[in-house]
Structure 1
Amino acid sequence: MSAEPSTEDLVADVFARDCTSRRALENVTGKWGGLALTALREGPYRFNALRRRVDGVSEKMLAQTLQALERDGLVKREVLATIPARVEYTLTPLGADVAEQIFGLIELIESRMPEVTAARADYDANH
């Protein structure tokens, strides 16, 4: 396993193959990352409650997604001192900023669904 690059080695161009932020972008924009982050905008979630909120995600995929988002500093996993122990997930300040941007994109897409639906129908009719 290779070490993370130092800050001097960071490439700040997500289009560059060696861009150190590309993986973080993939974690955020993958099938489940954006949905998990957006759900966490609503407040802390326990694992199973978050899984119910993000309908369709498997237990394994949600666990992997949350782990990747935690590693990127977007999500905080907190083990609560209760009996039995509980785990809650919350957004970090960075995660809240990213989630806000994703939420804006979701709002835009949802508000423009009639156009998307029409474009799909047109495409399907011509291909």
Structure 2
Amino acid sequence: MYNNAANYFGFLRPLDNNNLFVFNSAKLYKTSNGGMTWQQVTTVPAGEIRYVDFISTSKGWANITNAGQNYFYYTSNGGTSWTQRPNVSNPFLSVAKMQFTNDSTGFAMGYNYKTFKLPTPVKYGNHCQEIIIMMVDGLAI
């Protein structure tokens, strides 16, 4: 897994002592045995992975950049298949970090000081709700 620079991972999402997801801009891996073995999630949609967040071993979200557009995808089966949410592309939906607190609420910090309440199939359908943030000395809070 770590035999060249393309296999180094800068992001991880532990769910518990056994289940963990790691990713970089090109690959997503998961383990269900505390890191003893890893499986690559090969069904990630085409493009550059910007961020991934899982709330369980089956439910997760990915922000993918492809051809200058940004997309959110949702999986309910551990990454076996992904569905675009919302069903639109947007150059401004690229996120630096995102976190879902449950199956219907998620938040993302975007670039250009934007923060979003993310679309989920339960609450928002195909819409992102931008959260108004305040700038203090050049920092977004």
For the superposition of Structure 1 and Structure 2, which TM-score range results when normalised by the shorter chain?
under 0.3
Query: Which protein has the bigger strand share?
Result: 2
By percentage of residues, which structure has more helix?
1
Normalising to structure 2: TM-score of the pair? 0.23
Bigger Cα Rg = 1
Q: TM-score, normalised by structure 1?
A: 0.24
